[in-house]
Chain A
Amino acid sequence: MQDKESMNASAGLSSKVRVGTSQPPESSFKRKRGFFQKDLQHMMYGFGDDPNPLPETVALVEDVVLEYVTDMVHKAQDTASKRGKLLTEDFLFLIRKDSPKLNRCTELLSMNEELKQARKAFEVDEEKLSSIE
């Protein structure tokens, strides 16, 4: 933990409270080390890192990503405060300048819609089948 502290301090990144050995309750959220660790390892390999990235690197990327997401959400909330509710459009507004991200997000959302439609059609078929029986 010592080198992680110094690493964070030198990088100018913050780290939230680390839970020792106690189990966090389900409702409240205390960030443990390695929150995204497994996913991040595969992701970093996919993007060009070693098949087994260094654990320090993974921890650092996790800190960076969490800080990034937190800042994004705070900014989105600022935009959404006038409306009152936080919507998906707020995030899309934030990344409007970044065209790869924007395109990817619109693609994901349209894919989600398509899947929903497909699932709805499937449910209807299921009902038909059971009614035939």
Chain B
Amino acid sequence: MLRRRCPTGGERIDLCRQWEKKMRAGRKRKRKRKRENIAFLFFWSFSRFTAYTGKWRGKKGNVFITPLCCRNSSSPNLEDPPMKKSKDPFEIAFEERDESPPESPTGPDENEAQTPGALTQDVSGDDDISNNLRPTDPSTSAASSIPVGTAGPTGKSKEEDEEEEEENMDVELGKLPSSGDPDKTAIMQTILSQFTEGQMSRYESFRRSGFQKSNMKRLLTSITGSAKISMPMTIVVSGIAKMFVGELVETARIVMAERKESGPIRPCHMREAYRRLKLEGKIPKRSVPRLFR
């Protein structure tokens, strides 16, 4: 009769029968759902590897293996300097776009002499990335003496964050500073091909670093007090904050150069940089003075 105990206690037979019917229907539904799930998983995993794109796509659509630009087998890197151990996806994309193979760097001294020359070509300096590249040059010449082993892990550990970060997707897909501008991409490509490993790891950190969207969203929610923070707003604020950090660090480096100091940036440099930015007016002033520090 009843395989399980009826919740009503078995005293009312008609209720027991109704309950038994419900249990059977539920089990039937469960079996059907299980079948559907298996079918869905099969189709879903198949569609993740789409014939259209020819590669695996993650949940959010970001690419696991190769960026869109180098879908075809990438042309063998003719220069292939022994220094470049980690092939960045956007670096591959850069090399792929330019048909002519880049010149092989003859040595680190030549590179440092060449890169300022290459940078001066990029006169259309509205590009903020080129602005950031120029100040990094004097610092990277100092930084290149720093053992690169420390630079490697910092660059690689970022890859774990990458797959969750939508903002870094444009980097992964090989999108260049101004997509659709062949001159700029060619210039970028020549610059990037002449980077030393230290410079390349620093550039990689520059491109890939960013604030976590979830953290930023939480912060914005707590500041505004409103529950809904749209995704574009998070993206904009993260971008603004990152550029602000860039301004701070660059100004701090300028301060260090004036004081003729070297090594890591110290808080005193940072405070001086903050003061200078405040004088320039880049920092929003508080209309109401902050109480109870």
Contacts and interface: CB of A to CB of B under 8 A. Distances in A.
Interface of A: 7-11, 14-15, 28-29, 35-36, 39-54, 56-57, 60-61, 64-66, 68-75, 77-78, 86-88, 91-92, 94-95, 98-101, 103-105, 108-109, 111-112, 115, 118-119, 122, 125-126, 129-130, 133
Contacts of B60: 119
B211 interface: yes
Interface of B: 43, 46-47, 50-53, 57, 60-61, 126, 128, 131-132, 135-136, 139-140, 143, 146, 150-151, 154, 158, 166-167, 169-170, 175, 202-212, 215, 218-224, 226, 230-233, 235-237, 239-246, 248-250, 252-253, 263-267, 270-271, 274, 282-287, 290, 293
A44 B205 CA distance: 9
Contacts of B245: 40, 43-44, 47, 61, 65
Chain A CB within 10 Å, residue with most, of B61, B140, B253, B284: B284
B233 A49 contact: no
B50 A36 contact: no
Given A43-B206, A47-B206, A130-B47, 8 more contacts: A35-B219, A44-B249, A50-B265, A53-B265, A71-B283, A103-B126, A104-B243, A112-B231
A105 B249 contact: no
A69 B69 CA distance: 35
B239 A108 contact: yes
B86 to A, nearest CB: 15
Nearest to A14: B293
